[in-house]
């Protein structure tokens, strides 16, 4: 109310001195988070017109990680009012962005998702790339919190493509961090690190004031999960220094909690407790009850693990009290569960029993409440539907007579046209059957051709290895025996040396060609070891290969496994021949009856729309299609290439 009155006085140009005094007083009683936020608030208060005020509010809302959610809501609501007065569509959408962030901070994920999706729908027909990218970033963040990591990854890849087209390095870094975060949540830590380090490499090309928060803390969290404590400690200290430097309170709180977890794993209990307490203190400054309660739950578990049950009981009781006060009922079950654990470890079985009883009653109450809410929603829908049915019946009675006439004429028209459509449909069905037969014949022909190719490869490889190569070895041995029996002149000795060298090199080349056509490691060790054996034979100066295989590929039939081998062999040879790369990263993952293969290089890249598919690429596409898989190629000039292959096992 005070803010509305003071703005009115200001815009009317009356009592300016009184207005300034009231605004300064309001600023002093507001909850202060950081000095930077305080200075931004002052700029808002001193704005001379709507446009200046709106720009200042947007700058303030950009510090949402350090703002109290209620403060964020107050300013984003004010921003939307001013934006609508000005009539600028971009600014209205941007104020909705901050409102969606508010819903996210309050844990109201459904409201946040609805608002984000509706704004992205508007942005389909309204070109504002900056606002659209920010909504996509928020959507990826939201999807991860909703445990929909694959959707988040797809959304972030879309964001990355847009940023690469616009040469927007900062947004590319943000997109890669989000993709790495999704992999981290899926437990695919190696892939997560690859994306994080790719983001770090690009980030170093930006001014430090444009660096993205959460990158180093995420790297530290992954290393901690991998039990590489030294690396985790190195990156979390970098994260802590950066969080303090940029004055981002959410980033700082997260860093403290991750540092606390690392210290706990290193059995540095006192240090861990200090960091956890600091994290909770920062969270309380932000004033976000949803995350404060979550952090209290984590501290309660920490105290239980370290047998400091009195501290655990105290902090969990505070968390329960705050959850009730702020109507965070969904947090109560985990808090009571942690409290019961502390009572049990403390040997206080009376309180343990009471807490368990409370937990059971609470779960029952929440179930009944959810059931009652569902019943109320169903009742409301029923009443609405009942009214709609009445309206429909009345409308039907009014048009009934006219409808009878239309029906008679309609039946006549249907009788005439049904014959026509019957014959058309029959012709269509026959055409579809013929197409299906042709597709099946094409599939069988493709299979026969591929099998014939592989059989011929195998036959040629065996002939090369068992016949040609052996004969060349025997010829070399006979030549050496012949030379040993003769005393040759210098000229003859030179000719003999040349012949001997040519025979040795030819023998090696025949063996190499034989192995590439039908690798012996494939028959003995299977798909992944054959790939590794193939990669081990690549010797190229200043060229690094990283290979990672996870999951079980042994259940694959030999012919399918060999086709996958050929696909990867073709992709790797393309990199060696055409990319000019110095690094090749290969990842093979078998999960949920699907093989996910990612081949990434840092080479020259190419325009995927302009390139003409050569024989190699056509071979890859035809083999992937035959395996009912999917092939995606993401590349741009100077940006390297990523080939993603998904094949059902």
Number of domains making up the chain: 1
Residue 190 pLDDT > 50: yes
Residue 310 pLDDT > 50: yes
Asked if the structure places residue 555 within a domain, the reply is yes
Residue 99 pLDDT > 90: yes
**Would you state the pLDDT for residue 179?**
94
Task: List Cβ neighbours of 390 (8 Å cut-off, separation of 6 or more).
Answer: none
For residues 173-189, give the mean pLDDT: 90
For residues 490-510, give the mean pLDDT: 70
Asked if the structure places residue 289 within a domain, the reply is no
Asked if the structure places residue 417 within a domain, the reply is no
Per-residue pLDDT tens over the stretch 240-289: 888 888 888 888 888 888 888 888 888 888 888 898 888 888 888 877 77
**Would you state the pLDDT for residue 370?**
52
104 confidence band (pLDDT: 50, 70, 90) = confident
Per-residue pLDDT tens over the stretch 452-466: 566 656 656 555 555
User: Which of 23-37, 164-178, 231-245 holds the top average pLDDT?
Assistant: 164-178
**Would you state the pLDDT for residue 396?**
53
Residue 570 pLDDT > 90: no
Asked if the structure places residue 617 within a domain, the reply is yes
CA distance 274 to 268: 10
Asked if the structure places residue 642 within a domain, the reply is yes
CB 527 within 8 A of CB 561: yes
Residues linked to residue 591 through DSSP beta bridges, in sequence order: 594
CB 34 within 8 A of CB 253: no
Residue 10 pLDDT > 50: no
Asked if the structure places residue 439 within a domain, the reply is no
**Would you state the pLDDT for residue 361?**
84
Residue 606: strand, helix, or coil: coil
**Would you state the pLDDT for residue 545?**
92
Asked if the structure places residue 465 within a domain, the reply is no
Residue 14 pLDDT > 50: no
State the CATH number of the domain containing residue 553. 3.30.565.10
Average pLDDT, the chain: 79
Quote the tokens at residue 467.
């016949």
Question: Can you state the percent helix, strand and coil of the chain, rounding each to 5?
Answer: 75, 5, 15
Task: List Cβ neighbours of 607 (8 Å cut-off, separation of 6 or more).
Answer: 635, 636, 637
**Would you state the pLDDT for residue 11?**
42
Cα-Cα end-to-end distance for the chain:
64
Quote the tokens at residue 302.
């920490």
CA distance 600 to 151: 21
Residue 17 pLDDT > 60: no
CA distance 61 to 55: 10
196 confidence band (pLDDT: 50, 70, 90) = very high
**Would you state the pLDDT for residue 551?**
85
The bridge status of strand 594-601 relative to strand 630-635 is unpaired
CB 235 within 8 A of CB 220: yes
Quote the tokens at residue 365.
């109450």
Which of the two residues, 299 and 17, has the higher pLDDT score? Answer: 299
**Would you state the pLDDT for residue 445?**
59
15 confidence band (pLDDT: 50, 70, 90) = very low
Residue 30 pLDDT > 60: no
Quote the tokens at residue 99.
């409102």
CA distance 117 to 104: 14
**Would you state the pLDDT for residue 451?**
62
By mean pLDDT, which of 2-11, 60-69, 622-631 is the weakest?
2-11
Per-residue pLDDT tens over the stretch 327-336: 777 778 888 9
By mean pLDDT, which of 221-230, 473-482, 539-548, 633-642 is the weakest?
473-482
By mean pLDDT, which of 267-276, 483-492, 498-507 is the weakest?
483-492
CA distance 59 to 109: 24
CB 135 within 8 A of CB 123: yes
Quote the tokens at residue 502.
């040519």
Residue 485 pLDDT > 80: no
613 confidence band (pLDDT: 50, 70, 90) = low
| % residues pLDDT > 90 (the chain) | 18
For residues 204-209, give the mean pLDDT: 88
**Would you state the pLDDT for residue 509?**
66
29 confidence band (pLDDT: 50, 70, 90) = very low
CA distance 505 to 482: 20
**Would you state the pLDDT for residue 299?**
85
CA distance 550 to 190: 10
CA distance 378 to 96: 30
| Cα–chain center distance at 309 | 38
468 confidence band (pLDDT: 50, 70, 90) = low
Q: Output phi, psi for 594, to 5 deg.
A: -140, 140
DSSP H helices in 247-288: 249-265, 269-286
Asked if the structure places residue 429 within a domain, the reply is no
Residue 421 pLDDT > 70: yes
Quote the tokens at residue 648.
């059902």
Quote the tokens at residue 88.
């600028």
Task: List Cβ neighbours of 163 (8 Å cut-off, separation of 6 or more).
Answer: 133, 169, 171, 172, 175
Which domain covers residue 564, as residue numbers? 525-648
Q: Which of 58, 156, 146 is nearest to 108 (CA)?
A: 146
CA distance 29 to 292: 22
User: Which of 365-369, 379-383, 581-585 holds the top average pLDDT?
Assistant: 581-585
**Would you state the pLDDT for residue 592?**
79
């Amino acid at each position: 109310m005070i803010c509305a009155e003071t703005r009115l006085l200001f815009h009317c140009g009356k009592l300016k001195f009184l207005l300034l005094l009231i605004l300064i007083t309001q600023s002093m009683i507001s909850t202060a988070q950081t000095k930077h936020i305080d200075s931004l608030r002052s700029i808002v208060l001193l704005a001379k017109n709507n446009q200046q005020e709106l720009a200042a509010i947007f700058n303030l809302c950009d510090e949402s990680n350090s703002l109290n959610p209620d403060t964020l809501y107050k300013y984003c609501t004010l921003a939307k009012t001013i934006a609508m007065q000005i009539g600028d569509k971009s600014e209205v959408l941007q104020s909705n962005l901050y409102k969606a962030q508010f819903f996210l901070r309050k844990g109201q994920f459904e409201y946040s998702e609805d608002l984000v999706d509706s704004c992205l729908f508007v942005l389909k027909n309204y070109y504002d790339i900056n606002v659209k990218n920010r909504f996509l970033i928020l959507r990826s963040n939201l999807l991860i919190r909703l445990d929909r990591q694959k959707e988040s990854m797809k959304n972030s890849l879309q964001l990355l493509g847009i940023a690469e087209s616009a040469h927007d390095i900062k947004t590319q870094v943000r997109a890669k961090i989000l993709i790495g975060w999704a992999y981290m949540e899926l437990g695919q830590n190696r892939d997560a690190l690859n994306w994080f380090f790719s983001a770090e490499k690009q980030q170093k090309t930006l001014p430090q004031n444009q660096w993205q928060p959460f990158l180093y803390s995420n790297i530290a969290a992954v290393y901690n999960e991998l039990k590489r404590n030294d690396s985790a400690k190195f990156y979390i200290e970098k994260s802590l220094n950066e969080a303090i430097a940029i004055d981002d309170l959410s980033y700082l709180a997260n860093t403290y909690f991750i540092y606390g977890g690392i210290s706990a794993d290193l059995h540095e209990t006192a240090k861990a407790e200090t960091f956890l307490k600091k994290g909770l203190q920062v969270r309380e400054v932000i004033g976000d009850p949803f995350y404060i309660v979550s952090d209290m739950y984590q501290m309660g578990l920490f105290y239980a693990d370290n047998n400091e049950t009195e501290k655990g009981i105290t902090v969990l009781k505070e968390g329960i009290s705050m959850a009730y006060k702020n109507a965070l009922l969904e947090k109560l079950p985990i808090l009571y569960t942690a409290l019961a654990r502390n009572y049990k470890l403390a040997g206080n079985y009376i309180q343990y029993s009471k807490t368990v009883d409370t937990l059971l009653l609470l779960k029952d109450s929440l179930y009944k409440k959810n059931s009652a809410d569902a019943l109320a929603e169903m009742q409301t829908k029923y009443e609405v539907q009942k009214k709609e049915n009445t309206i429909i019946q009345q409308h039907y009675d009014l048009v009934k007579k006219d409808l009878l006439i239309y029906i008679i004429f309609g039946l006549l028209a249907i009788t005439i046209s049904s014959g026509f459509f019957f014959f058309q449909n029959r012709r269509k069905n026959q055409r579809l059957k013929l197409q299906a037969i042709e597709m099946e014949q094409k599939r069988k022909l493709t299979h026969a051709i591929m099998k014939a190719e592989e059989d011929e490869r195998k036959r040629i490889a065996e002939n090369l290895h068992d016949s040609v190569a052996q004969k060349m070895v025997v010829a070399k041995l006979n030549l050496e025996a012949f030379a040993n029996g003769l005393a040759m002149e210098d000229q003859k000795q030179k000719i003999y040396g040349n012949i001997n060298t040519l025979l040795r090199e030819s023998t090696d080349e025949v063996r190499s060609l034989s192995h590439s056509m039908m690798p012996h490691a494939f028959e003995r060790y299977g798909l992944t070891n054959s790939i590794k054996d193939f990669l081990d034979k690549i010797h190229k100066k200043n060229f690094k290969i990283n290979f990672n295989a996870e999951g079980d590929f042994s259940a694959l039939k030999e012919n399918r496994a060999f086709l996958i081998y050929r696909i990867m062999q073709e992709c790797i040879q393309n990199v060696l021949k055409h990319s000019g790369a110095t690094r090749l990263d290969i990842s093979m993952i078998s999960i949920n009856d699907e093989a996910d293969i990612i081949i990434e290089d840092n080479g020259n890249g190419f325009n995927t729309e302009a390139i003409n598919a050569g024989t190699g690429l056509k071979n890859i596409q035809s083999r992937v299609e035959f395996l009912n898989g999917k092939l995606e190629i993401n590349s741009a000039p100077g940006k390297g290439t990523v080939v993603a292959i998904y094949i059902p096992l």
